[in-house]
Homo-oligomer: A and B are copies of this chain.
Amino acid sequence: MNALSPLSPDAPDRAPFVAIVGATGAVGVELVRCLEARRFPFSGLRLLASARSAGRVMQVNGAPVPVEELTEASFEGVDIAFFSAGAKISRHFAPRAIAAGAVVIDNSSAFRMDPSVPLVVPEANGEALTGAPRLIANPNCVAAIATVALAPLHRNWTITRLNMVTYQSASGAGWAAMEELRHATAAALAGEDYAPQVLPHPYAFNLFSHNAEVDPETGYNGEELKVIAETRRILGRASLPIGVTCVRVPVLRAHSIALSVRFEGYVTPEQVREALTGAPGVRLVDDRVANHFPMPSEASGEGDVLVGRIRSDLGDPTGRTVALFVSGDQLLKGAALNAVQIAEALPARVPA
């Protein structure tokens, strides 16, 4: 094993050698931070990015690590490769990484609907990792955050319908969108014009339907179709009816979702609260007296998904629908943290 950067002094020699593709992106940076914060054992780390970013130096566990250009040869000696550089890069390079002996955890949409590739949120369907897969897909951020909250309900009862209405932050569109939100807002406060460059609509103090392409037939955008398909896969419910509306709001980081969950039988909000209490990855924030519920400002930087506003959905007079409101860090549980949790849950694997 080619331990180029033995950065984790407390890791045994046999700890995996890790690569991050897209290391300088919003998710890539959080991947590095998650590996550090969780003391993920690795014997070396290779940071990969486009030629444009190569040569930059990132700090990892207090040591400088140069960013290298992603090439066909980048995966030599790599045991675990995290991909977060878009579906096109994943489609091209993930097979090469696997051929070089790596397990790939892919944050793009490239393989999420491939039935041979597990799509995993450890809290919801960690058992999908038991077959020692070589390629694992990390879900869409909304699907990941929602399924953490839904998993305990799904395990206890039969969900018959879901509705999700989202409040998605700039971070879901990367650094550039976060910068655009800051710049557009500063311009608005100064009374100046700002022409959108990253997102298609004015972002300062404004919101708009998600920027993913819209299917002209159904009227659903690509983000919504991903949320439906991936939530079904993660819950193992191929034909679960799911309505979804995805909206981009002027929040920098952390997505929120108004969830409405219909059950086959009569389930009370109290039963839902009980099922969520102490559930893995869930933190209840549901204080009616203090009017304190999940907020992006409190979800940002948090690994847990905040869940609150648990109440009967009065739109269903049969009393079988419960409404919830969740906030989760899009860059963490919605991306980097979930990927690292997948790596942690992989069957033990000694590098060759």
Contacts and interface: CB of A to CB of B under 8 A. Distances in A.
A316 B241 contact: yes
A205 B127 CA distance: 37
Interface string A147-188: 000000000000001110101000000000000011001100
A219 interface: yes
A206 B296 contact: yes
Contacts of A209: 291, 293, 308-309, 325
Interface string A111-154: 00000000000000000000000000000000000000000000
Interface string A192-225: 0000000011100111110101111011110000
A323 B164 CA distance: 12
Contacts of A297: 201-202, 205-206
Nearest to A209: B293
Interface in A250-295: 250-253, 256, 258, 260, 269, 288-289, 291, 293, 295
Contacts of A288: 214-216, 219
Contacts of A213: 291
A321 interface: yes
Contact of A243 (B161, B182, B313): B313
A218 B312 contact: yes
Interface residues of A, number: 63
Given A189-B182, A325-B245, A251 B206 contact: yes
A244 interface: yes
A1 interface: no
B250 A295 contact: no
Interface of A: 161-163, 165, 167, 181-182, 185-186, 189, 200-202, 205-209, 211, 213-216, 218-221, 228, 241-245, 247, 249-253, 256, 258, 260, 269, 288-289, 291, 293, 295-297, 308-317, 321, 323, 325
9 contacts: A206-B297, A207-B251, A209-B291, A209-B308, A215-B288, A216-B288, A216-B289, A245-B258, A249-B250
